Amino acid sequence: MTWNVYLSGEIHTDWREQIIKGCEAKDLNIVFTSAVTDHDSSDAAGDGLGAESNNFWRDHKSAKVNAIRIQKLIKQCDMAVIRFGDQYKQWNAAFDAGYCAALDKPYITLHSEEIVHPLKEVDASAKAWATSPDQIVEILDYLLNQK
């Protein structure tokens, strides 16, 4: 049985690659999906629909185009991993967590101990909190293969 895992959040480190490679090394039967993670492409997602002079509307158009993909992938996933780095606002990651919670999609958070307190509401609805991609790989291996 294939698992479908959505990877949400921070795009400045290679945590996605670490998880994907770790799971490939264990030959886990998982389809990983993500929002567009190329920052410039993502910000420009709506530009082809016409230029905007106002930044709010440029962002608005791009974010809505991206939402088509994000919401489809979350609705079709079995679970999500939601990563918070120590920098930046990352409100989109917390938004995805709330979206998962309301749809009863299980998610695991991935973040350092430093930000435990501001993430307490996000963690309270999570099924687990991990601090390293390796822990995520270990849990996925358990979930798929343990008898």
Say if strands 79-83 and 30-34 run parallel, antiparallel, or are unpaired.
unpaired
Distance CA 132, CA 68 (A): 29
Q: Cα angle at 119 between 138 and 22, to 5 degrees?
A: 20
Judged by CB, which is closer to a copy of itself: 27, or 102?
102
Distance CA 36, CA 44 (A): 11
CB of 127 to a copy of itself, least distance (A): 5
Ordered DSSP codes for 33-52: EES---HHHHHTTTGGG---
CB of 103 to a copy of itself, least distance (A): 5
Torsion of CA 99, 49, 47, 69, to 10 degrees: 30
